[in-house]
Chains A and B, each alone.
Chain A
Amino acid sequence: MTQQFYVSPEQLMKDRADFARKGIARGRSVVVISCREGIALVAENPSPSLHKIGEIYDKIAFAAVGKYNEFESLRQAGVRYADVRGYSYDREDVTARGLASVYAQSLGAVFTAEQKPFEVELAVAEVGSSQEADHLYRLTFDGSIADEHGFIVMGGQADKVSAAVEAGWQGELDFAGAIRLALAGLVADKETTTLPASAVEVAVLDRRPETGRGTRRAFRRLEDADVVALLAEEN
């Protein structure tokens, strides 16, 4: 017969948090950078089809690290939430703040109530008409939410990558500069000095998609060739 041991709530939460942190630390990093032209999202991801970055709505994108099945279900839930909201109210009533708050509640509920917490960390980015109007939210496995300024780094070696990105970040960067900075950050924890375009997944949120591309959807995924061409441009 098994004996039920008393475990204090502090210990229980700490164990869960440690478990989730360990899962996330195994993954590769994601960098989200707000810049002059919009928001650049760069993930180290060798798969061309299993994405870590996704479109949620007109101005809103999603990036995640951790277990694929867990953040993919969160991404799909986010797309459904945003589409239902935009359909029942209006497209402009869908905001990153609302979405991030729903994510925070779901992650918090899973963290306390389920058998195991989600081993994920999310970023929700909304591009505004000016850089001051950009919103970057970071959501962690326990449902905590943080409103970040300038950039977000998540994943395995986030400290090293974050230090490298922080050193080079400035508001005046264009997309090429932001992606170059993100790539420089992503190799901070590695032996190599460059990452090939095939090893990363890159997407951007254009600040003015209506004038540039004639669509209200700001999200644009960059193919490997686009990334190579963009990086070849001189600053």
Chain B
Amino acid sequence: MQETTANQVAASATSSFTEHLQRERPGLMPLGLVPFGLMPSGQLPFQQLPAAAPLQVPHGTTIVALTYAGGVLMAGDRRATMGNVIASRHIEKVFPADQYSVLGIAGTAGIALDITRLFQVELEHYEKIEGTLLSLDGKANRLGAMIRGNLAMAMQGLAVVPLFAGFDLPAGLGRLFSYDVTGGRYEEQEHHTVGSGSMFARGALKKLWRPNLSEQDAVAVAVEALYDAADDDSATGGPDPVRQLWPVVYVVNRAGAVRVPERDLAAVAGTIIESRAVAQREA
């Protein structure tokens, strides 16, 4: 009798918000992450969505991340597309995950935003229950598990591919993690990009990134990489001086994750646009 009570208590003790939600309120889970056993029959995503006709839903595009002296930085453009239509010019795709980490999302915007929200609560929940922060590797693994859970949706064309960056307090350095749709987690060195404009941004970063960039230079490099991605990828939005829209940029260092203020980004983007105009280059 006592044995079973103890087992029950141990089995229901979890520091994971996701596990709690799956057990108690599965209906609140993001679309792809509802456990199959708990889904009403006839509502499996496989059956609902024939693979031949992918849904027309907004997709987020390019995210860049790079390390600099003392931390790591992540930036994302402000565009979401739905086929050939611009679904949003204002969408934000880079978010603080907790005090010392940020994540950027590319892919199906709706599911990605849900996963982001769940991930943010997951980290805060762990911190409150355990009284201590999850390690950076622990955070990266949790995110991987969530992306893996979305695999069924990814196979329907509703993939979510995040980029995760954080400051590893014990090691004293900024680290970067990329993911594939199966939840595979890969630690990246120096810099990385995801999304439709990623190959153009990556090309730019290869030329612009240097070891030990200052924070200010790192912001300029990230914004310029996004500018190059927007130049060649129609699904990536460039800086928009007409609407005063600039990329979302977060820097993460020992002091925590901080969003770079709009006016700094306006100045940085202005400098880039000006230098390109002065150069009078066509391509």
Q: Do A and B come from one complex?
A: yes
Which A residues have a C-beta under 8 Å from some C-beta of B? 49, 51, 54-56, 76, 79-80, 83-84, 86-88, 214-215, 217
Taking a contact as CB atoms under 8 Å apart, the answer to whether A76 and B129 are in contact is yes
List 13 A-B residue pairs with CB atoms under 8 Å apart, sorted by A's residue number: A49-B131, A54-B131, A56-B128, A83-B121, A84-B21, A84-B24, A84-B25, A87-B17, A87-B28, A87-B117, A87-B121, A215-B99, A217-B124
Taking a contact as CB atoms under 8 Å apart, the answer to whether A79 and B125 are in contact is yes
B interface majority secondary structure: helix
Given contacts A87-B118, A87-B121, whether A51 and B128 have CB atoms under 8 Å apart is no
Given contacts A87-B28, A88-B25, A214-B258, whether A51 and B131 have CB atoms under 8 Å apart is yes
| 11 further contact pairs, Cβ within 8 A, besides A83-B17, A87-B21 | A79-B129, A80-B17, A83-B124, A83-B125, A83-B128, A84-B21, A84-B28, A86-B121, A87-B28, A87-B121, A214-B258
Q: Chain B: how many interface residues by the 8 Å CB criterion?
A: 16
Given contacts A49-B131, A87-B121, A215-B99, whether A80 and B28 have CB atoms under 8 Å apart is no
B276 at the interface (CB under 8 A from A): no
Chain B contacts for A215, CB-based, 8 A: 99
Taking a contact as CB atoms under 8 Å apart, the answer to whether B21 and A55 are in contact is no
Kindly state the separation between the CA atoms of A175 and B129 in the bound complex, as whole angstroms: 26
Taking a contact as CB atoms under 8 Å apart, the answer to whether B117 and A84 are in contact is no
| Closest A residue, CB atoms, query B9 | A73
Chain B contacts for A86, CB-based, 8 A: 121
Kindly state the separation between the CA atoms of A80 and B25 in the bound complex, as whole angstroms: 11
Chain A contacts for B121, CB-based, 8 A: 83, 86-87
Kindly state the separation between the CA atoms of A54 and B125 in the bound complex, as whole angstroms: 12
Kindly state the separation between the CA atoms of A86 and B25 in the bound complex, as whole angstroms: 13
Chain B contacts for A49, CB-based, 8 A: 131
Taking a contact as CB atoms under 8 Å apart, the answer to whether B99 and A84 are in contact is no
B206 at the interface (CB under 8 A from A): no
Kindly state the separation between the CA atoms of A39 and B216 in the bound complex, as whole angstroms: 38
* Chain B min CB distance to A107 (Å): 19
For the complex of A and B, list the 6 residue pairs with the smallest distance between their C-beta atoms, beginning with the closest: A79-B128, A83-B125, A87-B121, A88-B28, A55-B128, A83-B121
